[in-house]
Structure 1
Amino acid sequence: MGSVESRESSGSPHHELSAHEVVLLLETDPDRGLSGAEAGRRLKRFGLNVLPAAARAGFLRRVLRQFHHPLIYVLIAASVVTAILGEYVDSVVIFAVVLVNAAIGFVQESRAEVALESLRSMVRTRARVRRDGRERFVPSAEVVPGDLILLEAGDKVSADVRLVRVAGLRVDESALTGESVPVAKDQVALPAAVPVADRRNMAYSGTLTTAGSGAGITVATGAETELGQIHRLVGAAETLATPLTRKLARFSKVLTVVILALAAMTFAVGLLRGQEPVETLTAAVALAVGAIPEGLPAAVSITLAIGVRRMARRRAVIRRLPAIETLGSTTVVCSDKTGTLTENQMTVRVVWTVDGEYTVTGSGYGAEGKLSDRHGAVVTEATSHTLRWCLLAGVGCNDARLRQQRNEWLLVGDPTEAAMLAVAGKGGLGREEVEAAYPRVATIPFSSERQYMATLHQQRDSGGTVVLVKGGVERVVSMCRAEMCADGAVRPLDNNVVLSAATNLADRGLRVLATAMRPDGKSEEFGEQALDGGLVLTGLQAMLDPPRSAAAPAVRACRTAGIAVKMITGDHAATARAIARQLAVIGDDRDGQVLSGADLDALPADRFAEAVERAPVFARVSPEQKLRLVQTLQDRGHVVAVTGDGVNDAPALRQADIGVAMARGGTEVAKEAADMVLTDDNFATIEAAVEEGRGVFDNLTKFIVWTLPTNLAEGLVVLVAILLGTTLPLLPTQILWINMTTAVLLGLMLAFEPKEADIMRRPPRPPARPLLTAALAVRILLVAALLVGGTWWLFQWELAAGASTAEARTAALNLFVVVEAFYLFSCRSITRSAWRIGFFSNRWILVGVSVQALGQLAITYVPAMNIVFGTAPVGVDVWLRILAMGVAASAVVAVDKRLRKRLL
């Protein structure tokens, strides 16, 4: 039984071995399969055919992880100290902020990590196996190495299988390899170096059979399957912090150190000056609480949530809040081709006959579109006998079925056959019409050995029969002795002309099939030998999976915004090159700047990163290579967005700074591995996401630039009072009032700020750029200095004028809030004047300022609030001085904007 252990037991991969060698290696029977008893023993030995569950952190650990943040540590400490000092209201407010932030983080984390479970569920189906010589259905989890699995159209492959018998078997491997059309299978041994996408003698777990039938020996189950390899890649791929969270983490650490240093300095200076320890400790806590931007976590979450709501209206669902901002920082978009940049519906683009080439418009499987000749004139099947028989062969020699449901076409069968049905409909030939006039009598199914399909039909109008054929160009041409002309006459076939036309079409990235017919055939003459050399060529049909109409403008918009677009696909290089040209991802040069998976493997390690940076298109790429491409770009400092819809995309989606999955055509694995899901499967929606993401980052930056001067100034006011040994201009409760009310009523209104007009004409923010540039840091220090200087000036002015300490503190408190309100309008744009962006364009700010004004009147003139916050009523003259200070601050910031515009 040792030979059953693994694919390495023979020293060769299974696709390299003959079917007979695989049977011997796995000690099974190619006709009877395993015995029930042996299957039971192997199930115990190898385990269930399921992917291993990922270890997850427990509930308590995930809860505690939410408190692991420097600023949270400071807030918790401040809450404890204020409680010890008897300031219970302050303690409760501070701790409530901590709990809210932890709850938000816990909910986000609980929803983020479900990709592996979805991947495991992909193989939970039933498998048809032969055991003890009898067919039976068993749960796919109970399939074991050596089982003989039977496959028919519509079956999901439940394990990795080495095929031993096939009859026209085709398998849709798009979710695993990215191949856009089903792959024809055979049982011929292949070289060991053949990549997964080209292993015609294998069927892999999680793929779907679309046509024909076959049987194969199970060679790998569970984690040993190709799907299992991807599972390991998904598990190993690191879920990266977003640019925003990375910048906020660095910013928080620096801010924590500064706050603790200032608080310690305050406490030490107070003690050295002989002040009471409790009073000094209260001042130090007041400094710490004042300097910490308590509203920042809430502002981040609310701003991101508003971005999420805006994106939902633009057909994108955000699974992780920071993802919306990440797109705004993206420098490279790595897009899957099939179903993302393209329609994922094969479409005939050209019909070629000996009489000329016909262009086909429209996309997808619908009948919308037309055929036109080289002069632009619309044609139908009645225009030419050659065109009619070319289209008729595509319909009659066809097993696909199309069904329309809610404006969508559902396909059962091969996409290439569906494309031939659609183009015939555009030319005036419907399937029902053809089946009525030419009922099918017999079929020679397609196989990779034959490379063609043939059908025998009765002709109702003449009573005779006709043979229709479609298949690979070279094979069909070799079976033809003549070609049909427009009037229905036949003439000797010119092979060179046909093959040259086919080559030209293939060079344009089109998949080309030839059609032929044999009139007045006899049913007894219908066979492979009878057909060879007796056919009449009717034409060529060239097709591709067309680009989405909105994809090319979206690619151009990304380039305008400074974002590189790279196309990564499992499809062939020629197809990838053709689509990339149509989308303007690459230029018109023939070389096309396309790297294949084989090219990547051949690159020396020292040239790999540079080649990845320069190349815009990667074809025939495996999941491991796609993951490596993403990691390489990230290592070069890029913020990478990856789009995809298949199982093969899941590792890269998870590794990316932001993974973008398709909702309609995507697998559940891709959706769960992604940070964002596009409900319309449209690459163009990414352009909208980039715009929203940049708007979110702008608004977060504006909030930080607005809130930090206040926090810094509050801390400095306390520190200056301790250094001078004078009365505090602001009490801890007054500082808490300023922080909590202004953050909610003023600062959060910036989350509703409309996007600025030039947002998509800017280059992406360099990933290495800090959250606050030097120019913004200078502005923050400037406004903080104005607040500190203005507060001390007004506080001392009021005391010198005979005001009480409570009245002087009330004046200082209101000065803080009023200057913040004036500064809020300046922060609506980092570089432009508030008047230039429209005073009323964000009405929420006007609402917030109005409510804040009512709050300031209440804390100033309502007796109960005077008692709680230590305030007192002030006169009109005080308000005039406060307003003058607000106007002065706005003027200073306006001058700073003008002088530093290029640095911002």
Structure 2
Amino acid sequence: MERVFHELRSGPAGLDDRDAARRLRVQGPNALPARGGASWPRALGRQLVHPLALLLWAAAGLALVAGTPVLAAAVVVVVVLNAGLAFWQEQHAEHAVAALEAYLPVRTRVLRGGVAREIPASEVVTGDVVLLVEGAAVPADGRLVDGAVQVDLSALTGESVPVARRAGTHPPGPPLEAPDLVFRGTTCTAGAARAVVTGTGAHTEIGRIAALTGHVGHHESPLETQVRRVAWLIAAVAVGTGAAFLPIGLLAGLSFTAALVFAIGLLVANVPEGLLPTITLALAAGVRSLARRGAVVRRLSAVETLGSTTVICTDKTGTLTENRMHPQAVWTPAGGRGRPDQDADRVPVLARVAQRCSEADLPDPAVGPGSGDPTELALLALAAAAGLDTRAATRERDRRAVHPFDPVLTRMSTVDTTPAGTAVHTKGAVEAVLGRCTAVRRADGGEDPLDTDGRAAVLAATAELAGEGLRVLALAGRPASDADLTAAREDVESGLVLEGLVGLLDRPRASVAPAVARCHAAGITVHVVTGDHPVTAEAVARSVGIGAGGLRVVGGDVLASMRERELDELLAADGEIVFARVAPEQKLRIVEALVHVGEVVAVTGDGVNDAPALRRADIGVAMGASGTDVAREAATMVLTDDDFATIERAVAAGRRVYENVRKFVVYIFAHAVPEVVPFLLFALSGGAVPLGLTVLQILAIDLGTETLPALALGREPAEPGLMSRRPRPRTEGVIRARMLWRAWGVLGVTSAVLTTGAFLLVLLRAGWSPGAPTGPGAALHHAYLEATTATFVGIVACQIGTAFAARTEHASLRTVGLTSNPLLWWGIGFEVLVTAAVVYLPVAQRIVGTVALDAATVALLLVCAPVVWGVDELDRWRRRRAEPGQERRTP
């Protein structure tokens, strides 16, 4: 090891701060080079060949066949512009999601001048001595100089079974097979060790592999997949309608050119150009909003899944509670119960074990903030109050062997040198430690055998403390021999002497009870899955409102004896459950059973062994503040504040985003009807009724006036009562039959009646009769241009009414408020400006085929907006009266 340290100009105490800072400037950050590549042409190409774009390409082709090259060119321009807009929005969304990594800075513990420090992993340099513990990600390539760990090398080798790595000799051979080397991108699944860093950034094994790796392709979310299927359906309907009405138009007396123009109109009118990019942008906006509120979602598709969550399986410590422990009570076999601050004579005997059996560091103004498990920090605080030396350097100096905390065994042990000789120190759950004890400590320091009555007294004291919501730990020890330094764990943790119990208080978070109540109102069931004592877990669950209608408590031993059918029946029954003393593999079993009975499950976790359950759940939620790197990597969402209330906010945001997608789907689909009706009227009348809208005017509507209000609807605040509805069924698609009825049957038909009426009114006012010529050179041509302009302006006015109507699906607009979405007002303002430009600017008039309207006609058309909104408002009022409380469910 001396040679390795010499080559790296380092030492067992690590680097000093000045040397580390200098190396960081020279070597650069410990990060993989950003991948470049020419992926953008492929992304842009996708926008040019998606179903709706293909429909427009077909329209451009028909325009060429019909001998209207200007129209063909206009359609192509629209395709290119829309593809460019969609491409920009998709890239913006991907960059926004990638930038969320800043919310999850990876940190690691290193020795700087012999003192343990927690620093960003990007600041690790060669020569640093890194402290590796269970659950930590290896921040850089290195060689172990002390200790042993189990490492998951699957990221590099594909081997799923963790391999052992131990400090010692370095035999020749492939680096990945060296028994003392660890690599960036891998994780420690067990043990504790120190490693000196030999390579960072691109100069690591995973950096070498990354340099050979191409760009990862685009993966659509389930929502995007659903919408793409809808787009193909729209394309099929448009093509089918055009093919069906083309011979009808010919039979009715239309020329072949007029029939092709009719087919082009149907194709263009049925294309909701902004649908796909608007959905992507809405999902990305939801992800950014969640990140600002403490929930970092790792992929866009998770936002839609959040909205359909039916069950939350939450841990207790740190999620329901503050995760800030402090000693509240002590109990010793000789003196019974007491308080740490009032019964100082009982503290030293417990503090000796707490001082030694720990991996945490208390805050030290001379060194830096503390770090470690909150339970261990609380025990160290107990030891510090007793006047013992709790410095990590002292603890490490005297430690001879360590058996790290095992989540299955629920205990930890160390073998340490003490003034009285070598000793074993053990802490853990009462059941786990009590079973390894054969004696109890007397007041004079001697030992008494632990008999049946003594065990009953310990368990009674445990139940009393746990019933008050305290986390109860047992502390034990015994003199050690040299054989204990190399003996198996089972042998070391045997023949122990019980020193006593410590009750630690972790108060429930103030935000949790209201969040649980909102989950219940939303029809979401909340189960507690914890390794804590059943009585403690039940007390905390009841204090935050979980199980208000009847709480069941199931221990890990009972769960282990259940058959799968029995577990399914337990979970399918009404009411909430506290699963206590649950092993990590049992958490996975609970999640699998919930999924099997049809629930959409969000589950929290923070440890290495929680990773399978996090991956199996529909939404895996890792703790960002206290969780391990393994858990964060396995999760779909990471809580930066570890707060249960953030999960509830994320569910609410998921519902809001999904509902907003539906809002602008209704908004976009509603405009197809008034755009299609003029062409159907033209075809069915055999040309006796002229076209009430031109293809270029449709393009001006779909691309110029429609897009910004649709984007604004994607940012709509949550509708009142959104979290008082049942979760969305897993199988329910983004588009429902009722949405189509509302878009086409209510909003669309109303808009079509108003705009077609305005078109005919302007013509009739000029003396038109069916079949009268309106083409260029005819006496009625100017009146015809005025009529089509009125149709164009009328559809825009109906768009404004539809935008306000689409803001709510159930509630009235009054409950939402007219000004609660200022982006919509900006979008409508832009829409009005574009419309005015198309109608009154001479250059636009020549291109689009419009003429200026008089003030009376404009005033009449503006009435369309409140009429469309009013008809929909009445329809929603009718549905609210007919279906009171349908959307509610009692959990």
**Where on the TM-score scale, by shorter chain, does this alignment land: which range?**
0.5 to 0.7
1:78 corresponds in structure 2 to 59
Does the 8 Å contact 2:362/2:390 carry over to 1?
no
Q: 1:420 aligns with which of 352, 371, 379?
A: 379
2:704 corresponds, among 728, 741, 745, to 741
User: How far off its partner does 1:597 sit?
Assistant: 10
Tell me, yes or no, if the aligned pair for 2:353 and 2:426 is still in contact at 8 Å.
Answer: no
- For the residue of structure 1 that corresponds to 2:250, the secondary structure is helix
TM superposition shift of 1:393: 2.6
| C-alpha distance in 2 between matches for 1:778 and 1:142 | 55
Structure 1 residues 786, 211: closer, same or farther in 2, change over 3 A? closer
* 1:719-734 alignment, distance < 5 Å: 719-726=680-687, 727-734=690-697
Alpha-carbon separation, structure 2, partners of 1:277 and 1:893? 40
Question: Residue deviations 1:97-140, cap 9 Å, x none?
Answer: 2455467668878989x99xx9998698556599xxxxxx9x99
Matched residues in 2 for 1:321 and 1:278: separation? Answer: 46
2:78 corresponds to which residue? 93
Q: Which residue of 1 aligns with 2:713?
A: 750
User: Quick one: distance in 1 between partners of 2:502 and 2:59?
Assistant: 75
For the residues of structure 2 that align with 1:540 and 1:877, how far apart are their CA atoms?
A: 87
Task: Identify the residue that residue 250 of structure 2 maps to in structure 1.
Answer: 271
Give 2:381's aligned amino acid.
Answer: A
Work out whether residues 143 and 159 of structure 1, in 8 Å CA contact, stay in contact via their aligned partners in 2: no
What does 1:503-582 align with in structure 2 at a 5 Å threshold? 503-504=459-460, 506-507=462-463, 508=466, 510-514=471-475, 539-542=500-503, 550-551=511-512, 553-568=514-529
Structure 2 counterpart SS, 1:638? coil
Alpha-carbon offset, residue 384 of structure 1:
4.4
Amino acid at match of 1:742: T
User: 1:523-578, CA deviations, whole angstroms, 9 ceiling, x for partnerless residues?
Assistant: xxxxx9xxx99999763224588766644553443223211234456789888777
Instruction: Assess if the C-alpha contact under 8 Å between 1:240 and 1:655 holds in 2.
Output: no
- Give the letter aligned to residue 830 of structure 2: V
Structure 2 residue identity aligned to 1:93: V
Amino acid corresponding to residue 705 of structure 1 in structure 2: V
**Contact between 1:397 and 1:468, CA under 8 Å: does it hold in 2?**
no
Asked if the contact 1:807/1:872 (under 8 Å) is kept, the reply is yes
Does residue 150 (structure 1) correspond to residue 155 (structure 2)? The answer is no
- Residue aligning to 2:661: 700
The offset of 1:866, in angstroms, is: 0.7
Give the Cα separation in 1 of the matches to 2:157 and 2:224: 44
Amino acid of the structure 1 residue aligned with 2:386: L
Structure 1 residue 94: deviation in Å?
A: 2.0
Matched, 1:689 2:689: no
Structure 1 pair 262/815, CA: closer, same or farther in 2 (3 Å)? Answer: same
2:28 alignment counterpart: none
- The alignment partner of 1:847 has SS state of helix
The letter for the 2-side match of 1:859 is V
What residue is the counterpart of 2:563 in the other structure?
603
Q: Are 1:352 and 2:308 matched, yes or no?
A: no
Residues 542 and 714 of structure 1, relative CA distance in 2, 3 Å threshold: same
- For each residue in 1:128-153, what CA deviation from the matched residue of structure 2 results, as whole angstroms up to 9, or x when unmatched? 599xxxxxx9x99899999995369x
> For residues 465-864 of structure 1, what are the structure 2 equivalents within 5 Å?
470-471=425-426, 474=434, 478-480=438-440, 483-484=442-443, 498-504=454-460, 506-507=462-463, 508=466, 510-514=471-475, 539-542=500-503, 550-551=511-512, 553-568=514-529, 585=546, 592-594=553-555, 599=560, 603-604=563-564, 609-614=568-573, 616=577, 630=591, 633-634=594-595, 636-726=597-687, 727-780=690-743, 781-802=745-766, 804-864=783-843
Equivalence for 1:206: 188
> Any unmatched runs of 5+ in structure 2?
1-37, 107-134, 169-174, 180-185, 196-217, 428-432, 480-486, 488-492, 767-781
The aligned residue for residue 363 of structure 2 is 404
Deviation at residue 860 of structure 1 after TM alignment: 1.6
Offset of residue 898 of structure 1: 1.4
Q: What is the Cα deviation at residue 723 of structure 1?
A: 1.5
Rate the CA distance shift 1:349–1:862 in 2: closer, same or farther, 3 A. Answer: same
Q: CA deviation at 1:859?
A: 1.6
Partner AA of 2:703 in structure 1: M
- Are 1:66 and 1:106, in contact at CA under 8 Å, matched by a contact in 2? no
Amino acid at match of 2:240: A
Q: Match for 1:499: what amino acid?
A: R
Worse overlay, 846-855 or 802-811: 846-855
Q: CA deviation at 1:314?
A: 0.7
> Against the structure 1 CA distance between its residues 339 and 72, is the aligned structure 2 distance closer, same or farther, given a 3 Å change threshold?
farther
Secondary structure of 2:276's partner? helix
Q: Distance in 2 between matches of 1:634 and 1:491?
A: 51
Distance 2:319 2:94 in 1: 28
Amino acid paired to 2:348: W
Q: Is the 8 A contact 2:383 2:390 kept in 1?
A: no
Deviation at 1:815, TM superposition (A): 0.7
Q: One-letter code of the match for 2:639? A: L
Residue 811 (structure 1) shift: 0.7
Of 851, 858, 862, which residue of structure 2 is paired with 1:883? Answer: 862
Which amino acid in the other structure matches residue 429 of structure 1? A
Q: For 1:639 and 1:673, locate their aligned partners in 2 and report how far apart those are by CA, in whole Å.
A: 18
1:450-465 to structure 2, matched below 5 A, reads none
**Gap change, CA 1:273 and 1:825, over 3 Å in 2:** same
Q: What residue identity is the alignment partner of 2:191? A: T
Give the aligned partner of residue 205 of structure 2: none
Q: Could you say if the C-alpha distance between residues 474 and 628 of structure 1 is closer, same or farther in structure 2, counting changes exceeding 3 Å?
A: closer
Match of 1:752, SS state, is: coil
- CA 1:643–1:257: 2 relative to 1, 3 Å: farther
**Structure 1 contact 396–440 (Cα < 8 Å) conserved:** no
Classify the secondary structure of the residue corresponding to 1:820: helix
SS in 2 for 1:541: strand
Structure 1 counterpart of 2:599, which letter? H
SS state at 1:329 partner: coil
Structure 1 length as normaliser, TM-score?
0.66
Q: In the aligned structure 2, how far is the partner of 1:676 from the partner of 1:66?
A: 29
With normalisation by structure 2, the TM-score equals: 0.67
| Aligned counterpart, 1:34 | none
Q: Is the 8 A contact 2:805 2:813 kept in 1?
A: yes
CA contact 1:515–1:540 (8 Å) conserved in 2: no
Aligned to 1:328: 307
Aligned equivalents of 2:398 and 2:853: distance in 1? 101
CA shift in 2, pair 1:772/1:451, >3 Å: closer
Q: Are the counterparts in 1 of residues 471 and 503 from structure 2 also a CA contact under 8 Å?
A: yes
Aligned residue identity for 1:760? M
Contact 1:468 1:515 in 2 (8 A): no
Q: Distance in 1 between matches of 2:600 and 2:812?
A: 31
Count of residues in Structure 1 that have an aligned counterpart in Structure 2: 722
Superposed, 1:122-133 pairs within 5 Å as: 125-126=141-142
Range that drifts further, 859-868 or 776-785: 776-785
Cα distance in 1, alignment partners of residues 619 and 284 from structure 2: 17
Contact 2:555 2:580 in 1 (8 A): yes
Retained in 1: the 8 A contact 2:438–2:495?
no
Alignment match, 2:386: 429
Distance 1:108-1:421 versus aligned 2 partners, 3 A rule: same
Does the Cα contact within 8 Å between 1:440 and 1:456 map onto a contact in 2?
Answer: no
Following superposition, the deviation at residue 244 of structure 1 comes to 3.7
Matched residue, 2:198: none
Q: Secondary structure at the match of 1:839?
A: coil
Partner secondary structure for residue 238 of structure 2: helix
Alpha-carbon distance between aligned partners in 2 of 1:443 and 1:860, rounded to the nearest angstrom = 85
Deviations 1:295-332 (A, max 9, x none): 22232223223323322221222332343333122222
Does the CA contact (< 8 Å) of 2:751 and 2:864 recur in 1? no
Over the matched positions of the two proteins, sequence identity in percent amounts to 32
